[in-house]
Amino acid sequence: MQFNTYTYAGAHIAAWLASNPAPSARDLTAVLASYDVHQPRPTAAQVRALGPWAERLRAVFAAATGPAKAELADALLLAADCRPRLIRHGSGQPFHLHYVAAGAGLPARVRALTAAGVAHAIDDGAGHRLRVCGRDGCGAAFVDTSRNGRRQFCSVRCANQVNVARHRLRQRQAVAR
């Protein structure tokens, strides 16, 4: 399974937005640009307009079962008015899928791209890889791109924090014995 293809850009952007529901315009621009989204610069108002969408994306990652994820993602496809198109930006450029008209505003494009991204992941049988970090107090959404698909934490940092805490707990238990 190829998680770093353009198909998965939408799922990765969805995870980032779900984890950062009130980002700065600059940070959102950087993330969108890193996935080759065209005209990636939102206004502050456009960033705010995506706040409720980030919550809906988050619900997909947080949903406990495959069918629940699929129902939520399907509702996002409708809400984003996803209409796949094959577009190229000039002759000689590669054709690729867009999910709304190329001239649509940035919030509409981000909604459609992220809805399509999580839907593609589920269509690929990878819905269980759309997950929320297992460390209490983190709650970041992430796409598990590991080979076996069993990553519990959003980052090495969270994994280390939990491992250190577990280690200390075991030490305390050993001393108390």
Nearer to Zn ion, 36 or 81 (CB): 36
Q: Which range touches Zn ion (CB under 5 A), out of 21-29, 52-60, 78-86, 136-144? A: 136-144
Q: Is residue 37 a contact point for Zn ion (CB under 5 A)?
A: no
Give dist(CA 152, CA 134) in Å, integer: 5
Q: Is residue 104 a contact point for Zn ion (CB under 5 A)?
A: no
Q: Which range touches Zn ion (CB under 5 A), out of 7-15, 72-80, 132-140, 144-152? A: 132-140
Please state whether beta strands 130-132 and 96-98 pair in parallel, antiparallel, or not at all (unpaired): unpaired
Give dist(CA 86, CA 113) in Å, integer: 14
In the complex, what is the shortest distance from the CB of residue 81 to Zn ion, in angstroms, rounded to a whole number? Answer: 18
Instruction: Report the candidate in 141, 118, 25 with the shortest Cα–Cα distance to residue 66.
Output: 118
Give dist(CA 120, CA 137) in Å, integer: 29
Binding positions for Zn ion, rule: CB under 5 A: 133, 135, 138, 140, 154, 158
